[in-house]
Amino acid sequence: MLTVGIIGYGSIGRDVSNYIVTDRAGNVELQAILVRDRKQIASHLPAPLFEDQADRFFARGFDIVVEAAGHNAVKQFAERSLRGGSDFIAVSVGAFADRELYEKTLKIAAETGKRLIIPSASIGGLDRIAAAAVGTIEHVTLTSKKPPRAWYGTIVEQRIDLEQVTEPVCVFEGPARESALLFPESINVSAALSLAGIGFDKTSVRVFIDPTVSKNTHHISASGSFGEIQLELSNIPSANPKTGYITAMSIAKVLKNLSTPLMIGL
């Protein structure tokens, strides 16, 4: 049985925790959840699981650490997890648009013999894109559309009156590296797609506020020596409208792959 620690207890952290304790994430044991203030946490889970001191959290020595707390958590804890002997599952993969952080993290993973793991999260087709990258990929384009409510609390809200949007509005068009840095909570999908394929600077991204959709939608288009892929995804938002329920499900699938004899979709 693999031991797991989770960083963050927002919508993703709560759902991943629930999948683990209800035996839907493979042969793994949830040992601790790192939060800002354990006294402020209301949960059906046992209180001793929650920890608000990083030193005590990491002293438990997990096999796997799951980051579910945002880009700053990746920057703060990826190295510490790897050096502490844990594989590190990064949900907020957009943090690796920072080239220096990405290269440093990979180097530490190689030095320690541990793994940086990027789940599919809100996107699909990464297995095919990653396989195609063994050959030649000519282009990869991602078009993401989210309803106005998904953009509250982001830089988009500062630029556009979301209540007045009545038709689709393109708020970004350019390389994935720039989109991941501009929209850290909303476009982690572009970062995952970039790492699987042709990189942050060659992957093209278009981002829309779209009042005509009720779900977070992503369209992937790619072609190369492997052929073509056209993939349309539609994710039901979780309690946090910036992300979908499928994100936590994806992490549960990774944990199952790592802890059971059968591995699917790698």
- The domain spans of the chain are 2-121+246-259, 126-242
Instruction: In the chain, count H helices and then E strands.
Output: 9, 11
pLDDT in tens, 85-143: 999 999 999 999 999 999 999 999 999 999 999 998 778 888 999 999 999 999 999 99
pLDDT digits over 210-239, tens only? 999 988 899 999 999 999 999 999 888 777
Residue type, 15: D
Task: Output the CA angle 236-237-239, nearest 5 degrees.
Answer: 135
Q: Confirm or deny that 27 is annotated as ligand binding.
A: no
Of 163, 79, 125, give the one whose Cα is nearest residue 246. 125
Give the Cα separation of 57 and 31 in Å (integer): 9
Cα 180 to chain center, whole Å? 12
Pick the CATH number of 126-242 from 1.10.10.10, 3.40.605.10, 3.30.360.10, 3.90.550.10: 3.30.360.10
Tell which CATH architecture fits domain 2-121+246-259. Answer: 3-Layer(aba) Sandwich (3.40)
Better-scored residue on pLDDT, 158 or 225: 225
Using CA atoms, how far apart are residues 177 and 183, in angstroms rounded to an integer?
A: 10
- What does pLDDT average to over the chain? 92
Q: What is this structure's pTM?
A: 0.90
pLDDT at 185 (0 to 100): 64
Asked if pLDDT for residue 265 goes beyond 80, the answer is no
Residues forming the active site:
218
Asked if residue 150 has pLDDT above 90, the reply is: no
| Alpha carbons 16 and 244: distance in angstroms, whole number | 13
The answer to whether domain 2-121+246-259 and domain 126-242 are alike in fold is: no
**In residues, how long is the chain?**
266
Q: Enter the DSSP assignment of 237.
A: B
How much of the chain, in percent, has pLDDT values that exceed 70? 97
In this prediction, residues 52-62 reach a mean pLDDT of 97
Q: Tell me how far apart the alpha carbons of residues 159 and 20 are, in angstroms, rounded to a whole number.
A: 40
Residue 33, strand partner residues: 6, 50
Question: Residue type at 66?
Answer: V
* 50-51/28-34 β-pairing: parallel
pLDDT band at 266 (very low <50, low <70, confident <90, very high): low
